[in-house]
Structures are given as structure tokens and as C-alpha cells.
Chain A
């Protein structure tokens, strides 16, 4: 095996075929078939039914506690599937770009078709949008308690990225039966990513979605630090994310001052 990391996604696909006999395009229908089944099974699962029921309760608890609604009006929790191209890009990052042990396998082993449904933790995700910044922490705490009570394995992570992305992520483990590539089935533990973000962050994310997609496709970043390249798309997009986060903090400050009353 060459010591040189595949520098592009196309070369990564060739590397997968040569080193691991994995032809990416052949795995696409299988990926789509499995993820579709996982989506359907999860929608019908007791876990999902309970969780979506509880969200209404959490909304009312926040209202009683703060006087403000927690979520955007009656949003339905939708189960989203990671598109195949984004999924392959993620395995490229894990196997190659972020692999500090290259040319050896990354920690935990290579991520390949026989294990990738349980190794990539955001194939299945959902998004919950809250109105205020403190709603993120509130909902993460509530959902975590829900998991503890139901003996469900979970972990949370508060994302605060350099690129201005802020959100609470909760990962819930759930066992599902999936078809194998050939025949029969296997039981695997999948991780469901529950993203909790604010209305403002979600708005900016929707606006910048196309830009993020283009950037994710680039394996090698520009040499100039984006913080100094004020003409770049990254400069505007990333700082907008940080500014909005700051503004949301200020909104919370005002809300809390109002609650305390005049000093």
C-alpha cells in the first residue's frame, strides 16, 4: 500500500476498490435499501413514538418554567437519512483525512461496508428547533433523563465549531435488524443523532446550506486562514454564525433581566 493519502474523493474510491475490494457504486443501492428500512423501522418503534410524545410535555414544562414556548410551533420530528455521497465523504474523512495512524487503520479499525452502519453516528438524524438559546440545554437535559429512565444508551455533545456552527447533539443507541448485502439479516446498534438548535441558527444554516455543501466536498482547505480573508464566503458565513450566537446570548440576558424586574 502507498504511504500517500488519497488526495481526492475520486482517488479515495479507487483506494477502497484496490485495498478493500469495496466498489462504492455497488454499495449505493444497498446503503439506500438499508437506510430506508432503518428509517421506517425507527418511525414505527416504541422509542420514537414515546420520544415524540414526550416532546410536547417538555414544551409545556419549559413554558411553565420560563413563560416562553420551547419549540417552534408544532413541528413534526422528521427522521432524516444522510445522503450516500455525504456518507462516503464522512468515511473518507475518518479513514483518511483525520486518520493520524495512516497508512495503518484508524483507531477502531477501517470503516467499511461490513461495519459502517454502526460506525458512522449520524446516518440517521433528526432536528429539533427551539426558540431560545437556553432551550438547547433544557432539551438536551430532558432527553438525556428520558434515555436514563428508559435504559437507553445515550451521550451528548455541545457543538461549538470554528465555522460558527452551534447546536446540541444527543446520540441515542438503538438496536435494529437490517438486511445483509446477500441474504438474511443482522442485528446492529445504530446511533441516532438528535440535533437541537435555535431558530436563528437554523435560519442561517438553511441560507448557507449550499455553501456548506460545496465546502464539505473540498478535501484540501485553502492555505489562507479564513479569519483574515475578509472577501471569502467563509469569512462572512462563519462570522455570521458566531455573531448570531452572541446575539442569542444577549436575548437571553434581556429575557432574564425582564424576569428579575427593575433594579
Chain B
């Protein structure tokens, strides 16, 4: 797995167990995806007790989007060939200026392709900055000519 992926997982606070689980899922997608996996994201939210719960693990290559749903405890994987430009996306944010996340920052991004496939990515605290970068670098960029 790429070093920047490992750094990302560390920075959002994944335990060693979940990092190992992530590495195993990465290896699986790496086998199945015909392209190089270049981006990673883990969706998370904060519970009422203030703890962080991780939901889905996402990987992205130039053309493919891969998701391991509820990756902490299930093996429910899917993969989508992403047509660009994506037909629709929406974004909701709270306490986030899209520059520097704070502990109160929340970001939610939803996209839909012309084949009606959808995906929802959510991040809290510093994970908002990673989601922002993913939105800018991956979803909102100009298609290559």
C-alpha cells in the first residue's frame, strides 16, 4: 500500500487492527482493479459520546471507484466504472471554511453518475480536509482531453 495511504490512515486515527483490515482490502481491490489505485478515503462520523465511528472504505483509480461498505465488520465490496464528468454532485458542510478543518468541521459529499450509480462520502474533523482534497483532485477536476 502507498506510503501516503498509510499516513492518511494514521492521521484519521485508525487503530492497528483497522489499518491491517484496510491493507487486506486494498490488496483485494489491487488484484481486481485494472488500474493503479491512487486515492483512498474512509468515511466517518462522531457519535453522541464523542467517539469516532468509521463506516466505509473507498479506493479510487482514474476510472474506477471501489467501496468496502461497513468495512470494519463486513465484506461487502463494490466497484464502479466512473464516467466523467459526473452528472451530479452535492455538498453540505458545517463549521468548515473549506480551508482548514477544526474539531467541529463536518463535510458531506454526494455524487451520481449518468448510469444512476450514487455514492456518499462523509468526513468529520481533520478528515474534512482529506475529503476536500479528494473532491477537488478527483471529482471536480476537468476531464482529460
Contacts and interface: CB of A to CB of B under 8 A. Distances in A.
Contact of A26 (B56, B70, B108, B118): B118
Interface string A1-42: 000000000000000000000000110011011001100100
Contacts of A182: 92, 106, 108, 122
A29 B45 contact: no
B124 A183 contact: yes
B118 A29 contact: yes
Nearest to A179: B45
A185 B106 CA distance: 12
A72 interface: no
**Top 3 A-B pairs, shortest CB-CB distance:** A183-B106, A182-B108, A36-B70
B120 A177 contact: no
A29 B69 contact: yes
A182 B112 CA distance: 16
A187 interface: yes
Contacts of B46: 183-185
B87 interface: no
11 contacts: A26-B118, A33-B69, A36-B70, A36-B73, A177-B47, A179-B55, A182-B92, A184-B46, A184-B106, A185-B46, A185-B47
Nearest to A35: B70
Contacts, number: 53
Interface of B: 45-48, 53, 55-56, 69-70, 73-74, 76, 92, 94, 106-108, 110, 112, 116, 118-120, 122, 124
A33 B118 contact: no
Contacts of B69: 29, 32-33, 36
Given A25-B116, A187-B48, A33 B92 contact: no
B47 to A, nearest CB: 5
A181 B48 CA distance: 15
A29 B119 CA distance: 8
Interface in A159-191: 177, 179-185, 187
Interface residues of A, number: 18
A33 B55 contact: yes
A32 B94 CA distance: 25
Contacts of B112: 26
Contacts of B70: 32-33, 36-37
Contacts of B108: 181-183
A79 to B, nearest CB: 13
A184 B50 CA distance: 10
Contacts of B56: 33
A180 B46 CA distance: 10
Contacts of B74: 36
A108 to B, nearest CB: 26
A258 to B, nearest CB: 49
Contacts of B48: 177, 185, 187
Nearest to B119: A29
A29 B55 CA distance: 11
A183 B47 contact: no
Contacts of A184: 45-46, 106
B53 A179 contact: yes
Given A33-B69, A36-B74, A179-B53, 13 more contacts: A25-B116, A25-B118, A26-B112, A33-B56, A37-B70, A40-B73, A177-B47, A177-B48, A179-B45, A181-B108, A183-B45, A185-B47, A185-B48
A180 B122 CA distance: 10
Contacts of B94: 183
A36 B70 CA distance: 8
Contacts of A29: 69, 118-120
Contacts of A183: 45-46, 94, 106-108, 122, 124
Nearest to A30: B120
A25 B110 CA distance: 13
